[in-house]
Structure 1
Amino acid sequence: MQSRENTPGRPSMIERMTQVLDVFGAETAPVGLDAVAAATGLPRTTAYRIIRELVRLEWLEPDCGGHRLGRRAFDLTARQPECAELRAAAGPGLLALHRSTGVGAHLGVLEGRRIRYLDKVGTTSAVPPLSGVRIAADRTAPGWAVLATMGPERVDALFTTRRPDHLRQLHSRLHRTRTRHGLAVSEADRCPMRIVSIAAPVLHPDGAVLGAISATGPGLRVDRLGPLVLAAARRTTEALRARDAR
């Protein structure tokens, strides 16, 4: 007797799950159930069951009334050659930044609307290790450093669920970041224990933004650490340029 899963012409469960994941892979904003059903042509009840199972397995996660790609999807991304190459290029700059400041130095990349921390060198008792952690890009200095390289329309498209007053504050912060030559700063009065994060964008030699390098610790001063963070980001770009030239 032939199972329903193997009925000729009927997509297998793996094919249907792939269809659903493809919808989320093409979007940066959260996607709702109705949008998934419309994009895949699956019955709404089927799409719901597949999404529920993908959430259980951490391929998806709930977000703002919909869902987005989850931890497992981004874990695979972090293992891709491009991420490994970026980590290798950033390593010497992160180490130099940590040695010259004594605080934690981190490398993060934008994934959807969040910054994922790929690597770190050094920590302090006040700042836990962040490798593997994902934080909303509009609420952290590395995210602001990356977002400041984008146009306002693209930023708005990433954060369609944010309130208008939040977006106005975000654009104001991104403007200040641009006036600091790309340095983004999370002020101490916004953070517990007066923790400050100073971040600069990491650019590919062709000018595309790849992520951000940041220094994080208590009471950091932008005038002293800012040039060091910028230097670490530029060093990473130069390392990537040297690799491309081989």
Structure 2
Amino acid sequence: MANSPSGDSMTARVVRVLETFTVDRTMQTAAEVGRRAGLPSSTAHRIVDELVAAGLLDRDDEHRVSLGMRLWELALRGSRALRLRQAALPHMERVQATVREHTQLAVLEQDSALFLERLSHPDAGANITRVAGRLPLHASSSGLVLLAHADPELQERVLTRRLAAVSPETTTDAAALRRRMAEIRAAGFVVAPGSIEAVSTGVAVPVRDGDGAVIAALSVVLPREASPDVAIAALLQAARSIRSDLTSH
């Protein structure tokens, strides 16, 4: 791909354009895209026009653009995330029927927990997680499970940076976080009260593939006062069933 005067490849510029879209910012003008992507206006407009022509972005009557259905279609073809989600969904539904609270599936992606699916009950409590949203590894229960089982290089990268407090109870001390990771590996689950929101407790377990590698985290968000015991048992059973289904298909 041709480079820009700044040295960025075309691929890098396209990625920067696509990354300006978030779960809260789904529609933008080309000028807004360019400003947020740090691109000259002419470059942003050209890239946006080409992505619209390819179906990767959609443009409405007011000339605002959004992520296109074609991008969604291509992302799902042969996606390991889609296969994992399909295998997990029936078991997530059973967990949610048991605990009647938010039930979530997350994977490790670029040093954060990326949520592939979330099931919610009408009476469930507070939860900031969204599908295709991210939470820090050191703060969320899913992230803690993924971090505890990540490769040592990624762990060191996370632990040696400044760890931001999402809530007053988020663990931000690297030594304390190392101890917690060891406890998670030994116990096979984590209970994280108040780590994201003071009123909630995150409970998460690892999901493994046929070789035993941790490929995801399955979690529920409980009211702070609720006992985690039923949720832990339901999550562990679901994780075993997901692994079995992934292995047999």
Q: Same fold (TM over 0.5)?
A: yes
Q: Structure 2 CA distance, aligned partners of 1:78 and 1:184?
A: 31
**In angstroms, what is the RMSD of aligned CA positions?**
3.4
The equivalent position to 2:93 in structure 1, one of 92, 95, 107, is 95
Task: Tell me the TM-score normalized by structure 1.
Answer: 0.65
The 8 Å contact of residues 113 and 146 in structure 2, kept in 1 or not, is answered as no
Deviations 1:143-178 (A, max 9, x none): 111122235444013444236x72212111112212
The 8 Å contact of residues 94 and 106 in structure 1, kept in 2 or not, is answered as yes
Q: 1:191 to 1:18 in 2, by over 3 A?
A: closer
Q: Structure 2 CA distance, aligned partners of 1:98 and 1:114?
A: 24
Q: Structure 2 CA distance, aligned partners of 1:128 and 1:78?
A: 25
Moved more, 11-20 or 147-156: 11-20
Identity of aligned residues (%): 23
Match runs of 1:168-207 below 5 Å:
168-181=175-188, 183-188=189-194, 190-207=195-212
Superposition deviation, residue 236 in structure 1: 1.0
Superposition deviation, residue 191 in structure 1: 4.9
Q: 1:126 to 1:78 in 2, by over 3 A?
A: farther
The 8 Å contact of residues 191 and 204 in structure 2, kept in 1 or not, is answered as yes
The equivalent position to 1:120 in structure 2, one of 103, 118, 121, is 118
Tell me if 1:53 matches 2:39: yes
SS in 1 for 2:9: helix
SS in 2 for 1:217: strand
Superposition deviation, residue 223 in structure 1: 2.5
The 8 Å contact of residues 200 and 213 in structure 1, kept in 2 or not, is answered as yes
Supply the AA of the counterpart residue of 2:2.
P
Task: Tell me the TM-score normalized by structure 2.
Answer: 0.64
In the alignment, structure 1 segments of 5+ residues that lack a partner are 1-9, 23-48, 58-71
Q: 1:19 to 1:194 in 2, by over 3 A?
A: closer
Superposition deviation, residue 17 in structure 1: 2.7
In the alignment, structure 2 segments of 5+ residues that lack a partner are 16-34, 46-66, 164-171
